[in-house]
Amino acid sequence: MDPTAPLEGTILYIHVPKAAGSTLHAIFEKQYPPGSIYRLHGSVEELVAFQSLPEDKRKEIRFLSGHFPFGQHALLSVPYQYITVLREPVDLTVSYYHYVLRETQHYLHDEVVSKNIPLKDFVESGMCPGVLNPQTYLMAGIPNPQLEWSDPDYPLTVALENLKDRFSVIGLTERFPETLLLIKRALGWKSIPRFAVWEERLCEPSPVHVGARTACFRVPAPIEARLMSTAECGAPE
């Protein structure tokens, strides 16, 4: 895949939750007409509705964005390219925990708040599949992170193969301005709209407080760290 060639057809943006996706989506909204953008927020019903669209409607989509696993390109009859933005696993987990605390509509909010469940227990109990290597499973196209595999490295292997072969831009939240420049080059944009500091940074505690909290919890598995060590900010060679 030539990282210098402008992308054509439909852009599929796999939005990792709590990885600056809302900011990025807002930027894309300024680049494409409203009727050519289709957004998925993560529910099964939304995904089924997209998969049920008539082919002529799917052809009109220039930008598909949302919390969906790799593989939706199989429903497209036009050229496509994937892009994504990853985030350091511990920061991602902490961000998701604080999202649950402040988002009253989250299905775990009442339980976590009423029982005053600390970050350590939230992560290590397995009560939330959303913190079980979410980036790896999304990139591998595996919708259920609780599945067990005879080869524990299978999800990581598939995710890395997909990133290498199918993604034109692999950005990092920690290097968001550089990620935008990569996207601008890949998509042939003339300019990038000004953007605010993404919401995750505004709503989380200070780095000192986060450091004190994260020191006492263990990431469920080292898979995400291995994914990040391999997938550098940029496009595959």
Average pLDDT over residues 39-54: 87
Say how many domains are in the chain: 1
Average pLDDT over residues 18-23: 86
Evaluate whether 214 touches 94 at the Cβ level (below 8 Å). yes
106 part of a folded domain: yes
The closest alpha carbon to 216, from 120, 130, 113, belongs to: 120
235 part of a folded domain: no
Q: Whole-angstrom Cα distance, residue 162 to residue 74?
A: 14
Average pLDDT over residues 198-203: 44
Q: Whole-angstrom Cα distance, residue 79 to residue 185?
A: 18
- DSSP, res 14: E
Average pLDDT over residues 69-80: 90
63 part of a folded domain: yes
Average pLDDT over residues 214-232: 63
Residue bearing the bigger pLDDT, 214 or 113:
113
- DSSP, res 107: T
Helix (H) or strand (E) holding 73: none
Evaluate whether 79 touches 28 at the Cβ level (below 8 Å). no
167 part of a folded domain: yes
pLDDT of residue 217: 52
3-state secondary structure of 162: helix
Which tens digit of pLDDT belongs to each residue from 153-175? 888 999 999 999 999 999 998 88
Evaluate whether 61 touches 79 at the Cβ level (below 8 Å). no
Strands 37-40 and 80-86: unpaired
5 part of a folded domain: no
Q: Whole-angstrom Cα distance, residue 131 to residue 145?
A: 9
Q: Which domain holds residue 188?
A: 10-230
Contacts of 155 (CB under 8 A, 6+ apart): 133, 136, 137, 140, 142, 149, 223
Which tens digit of pLDDT belongs to each residue from 130-151? 788 889 999 999 877 767 777 8
85 part of a folded domain: yes
CA-based torsion, 143, 147, 148, 149: positive or negative: negative
237 part of a folded domain: no
Is the pLDDT confidence value at 112 over 80?
A: yes
56 part of a folded domain: yes
* CATH code of 164's domain: 3.40.50.300
